Structure 1
Amino acid sequence: MQRQDEEMDSLGPRIKELRLEANLNKAALARRVGVSDVTISYWESGAIRQIGHERLVALSQALGCPLSRLLEGENGGRAAPLYLRSQPPAPWQDPAAGRIELPFELVPAQQWEGECFLLTPAPGEHFDFLSEGDLVAVAPTDIFHQTGLYLVEREGRHCIRRVSQDDDGKLLFSAEESDRVEGYTPDTRLLGKLVARWQTASL
């Protein structure tokens, strides 16, 4: 809890710093984000300590900076996304990739207890349920928890599938644009559950 309070305390001053760097007054930033200039003042002062997912994304776009810099500053590392590729290993399993925990502001604790990682499709890679530039929070797990989207290794390649269970407890896998449901095979392995997704959209 102390770490979360420290992160929220630093977010307000960082919003102000980035706003000044972008040569924006509060009213101009408010128009870009779609809030009042009073709300901007509250964010910068810390009077409002909870900022929703959509507002954080809108803020980063309005300020012309990566979401990682808004959340972590110049030297922050936890919010930087890892590239998701169709070939193993999973991004967080690659020794060359830093282990990056998702900031709590993006995934409320009640949604998932445990570490999450921010992923985005690598250039030239295509995945069901994701478009270029989308961000997903993935919690590493090899256990089925509930119906939803999972990062899956199947036939030696990574893919995203909607995973559910039938009445007998057997896992079922479905793609985005297919009515066909596939069953579990020996070469299928759950790698992680998608707990949040942010889709690219122009403001």
Structure 2
Amino acid sequence: MKPVKAIIKEKRLEHGLTMKELAQKVGVSEGTISRWESGEIANMRRSAMVSLSKVLDIPPETLMGWDSDTQKQDDIPLPEGVFRPTLKRVPMLGYAAAGEPLENLDGQDTYYVETDSKYRVDFCITVCGDSMINAGINDGDIVFVRRQPEVENGQVACVEIERSRVCIKRFYKTDNGVMLVSENPKYAPLQFNEANCDDFRILGLAVIKQSEIQ
């Protein structure tokens, strides 16, 4: 795999952006972009990583320096004679509110799932709050998400609001926007449209909880 610094520069040029233009889109200084591309800054802030990932269409795990979906066998010692499944590294991208949307926080944990599992997952989120309890999603649960830009009405989605807030909700398209519905009657549905939300993105489909992984 190419070094992260080379990937950033390559993607910037593919998008036809100067360092200054990229810096403006990401919300950092031009000097920061230069230091990323030179490798002088190896660990970027979570908020900058999210913005850079969107602007250049680079998966967050690539910016973390992960070179593949599978972990080398020697990194996961098992007793002699025990079957060793092929494991996929799943990044913990932060926290998601199951009540009101909560600003995303740094998360550096890594979880492992078998690559031949019936559930294809790309990242996981720790849930905060109780608004999805009737869907079996409780405060503190780790929910694994399949990255995809669209979900069907009624499915539980992981969505990002205004570039920095992430939540887990049932998703519905409406005539003039979208509606996010809780699985707890004490929380009212959240309505979003062009009038009250400048940026709304579906991160993926919530497919499984940690406790359900065999």
Structure with more of its chain in strand, by fraction: 2
The two structures share one fold, judged by TM-score above 0.5: no
TM-score by length of 1: 0.42
